[in-house]
Structure 1
Amino acid sequence: MEDEAPLGRGWRGTEAGWTDAAYELLIEGGVEAVKIQPLAKRLKLSRTSFYWHFADRDALLSALVRRWQDKNTGNLIRQTELPAPTIASAVLNLFDCWIAPELFDAPLDVAMRDWARTDIRLGAAFEAADASRIGAIRAMFERYGYVPEEADIRATTIYLTQVGYITLGTDETFQVRLTRIPTYLETFTGKRATDAELAAFTARHHARISR
């Protein structure tokens, strides 16, 4: 049957295939679920084929950490650095992360934060990631004329609000989020977004409106 075909090129699979499967196990069962034998079974590959791509399990876990850093922290920082005419537009660029999973993988962030509670090195990496994310948001506010102390408080408020959404698993449709965004923006920035700014945000997420 077609769904029994091995993943990847050839009998050993690919590094990306093994990493994708490890990601799935991490989301489903936490880091303790990410083990070589279950991965091989999921990919319908031999256990030894794993070692063509990774030296050991720790190397695979390191690949997951890099994926998380590049996607979540990297994309969040890049969104804060996008050109925007006003602070409201800039914050809406950041809000793209909370709407678009291709920019920010919330389940991955939850799984990594859970893992970090039992891994000292990852815990330190997560502290650094949180600091980098808040720092990028703070710098964004400062570029729009907010004094450092105010920029820090506003940045921290935005970030911790979203961490709360993610950690609590808040289930909110895009339609509901849209109705709240103008008030969130005013709360976070002290300024009102224009109708044009809100319309542009809605337009770029148009495909998600019906979900």
Structure 2
Amino acid sequence: MEVAQKPKVPETAWLEAAYEILTENGVEAVKVMPLAKKLGVSRTGFYWYFKDRDALLEAMVHRWEEKNTGNLVARSAAYAEGIVESVFNLFDCWLDNALFDAPLELAIRNWARNDMALQERLNAADDERCRALRDMFLRHGFDARQSHVRAMTMIYTQIGYFSMHVKEDAQTRIGRMPDYVEVFTGLRPHDSDIQRFASRHLVT
């Protein structure tokens, strides 16, 4: 009996192709045949890794949950001497695509408008993010009401930033972040805080 050989195109290639189509054209465009054509292979290789299209879409959602929500929660919980450093730690997500994928975030939010089950997962993710940011403010001495409102303000601001497709070069965006920190915390960052943050992102 002949044993089916493993396809030459790996699972990661299918996932990356699906990611590109999802972020560029929306979930309706993520279909097996266009993916196979994009990769230059037959669609039979797809079923080596995924039971069906729904399994691939679930992998996309899982990627978003693990990367975007997971890293945001982790950065908000990272060690910091004060709230200013904590917020700068969180801001790493907005500048490093390895921590937070903005195109995927927007694609998931657009997709959820027509998918009730995904909308429920999105709502749960937003709640988890808001709790993480609220807890960050609580740890640094803000009262419960202020912590919750400041957390929501940060979340809503960033969602708006993605949704409006704001375009800024890295230097301009980093240059504005100390002012964002002051808006969100009520405290002006020290030069040492700003320099430490900028050194993580600006290439000299």
In structure 2, distance between residues paired with 1:10 and 1:55: 15
1:116 aligns with 2:116: no
In structure 2, distance between residues paired with 1:10 and 1:196: 54
> What corresponds to 2:56 in structure 1?
60
> What corresponds to 1:4 in structure 2?
none
> What corresponds to 1:153 in structure 2?
149
1:203 aligns with 2:199: yes
Superposed, 1:68-147 pairs within 5 Å as 68-147=64-143
> What corresponds to 1:194 in structure 2?
190
Quote the sequence identity (%). Answer: 48
> What corresponds to 2:174 in structure 1?
178
Q: TM-score, normalised by structure 2?
A: 0.94
Q: Is the 8 A contact 2:80 2:86 kept in 1?
A: yes
Secondary structure of 2:117's partner? helix
Task: Give the residue type in structure 1 aligned to 2:19.
Answer: Y
Q: How many Å apart are 1:33 and its aligned residue?
A: 0.7
1:30 aligns with 2:23: no
In structure 1, distance between residues paired with 2:18 and 2:180: 36
Q: How many Å apart are 1:178 and its aligned residue?
A: 2.6
In structure 2, distance between residues paired with 1:69 and 1:17: 20
Runs of 4+ in 1 over 4 A off after TM superposition: none
Q: How many Å apart are 1:175 and its aligned residue?
A: 2.0
Secondary structure of 1:206's partner? coil
Residue segments in structure 2 that go unaligned for 5+ positions in a row: none
Task: Give the residue type in structure 2 aligned to 1:77.
Answer: V
In structure 1, distance between residues paired with 2:31 and 2:109: 19
Q: Is the 8 A contact 1:142 1:148 kept in 2?
A: yes
Q: How many Å apart are 1:179 and its aligned residue?
A: 2.7
Q: Is the 8 A contact 1:12 1:45 kept in 2?
A: no
Which is worse superposed, 172-181 or 19-28? 172-181
Which is worse superposed, 51-60 or 169-178? 169-178
Q: How many Å apart are 1:160 and its aligned residue?
A: 0.7
Aligned CA distance change for structure 1 residues 189 and 158 (closer, same or farther; 3 Å): same
In structure 2, distance between residues paired with 1:182 and 1:28: 32
How large is the Cα RMSD of the aligned pairs? 1.4
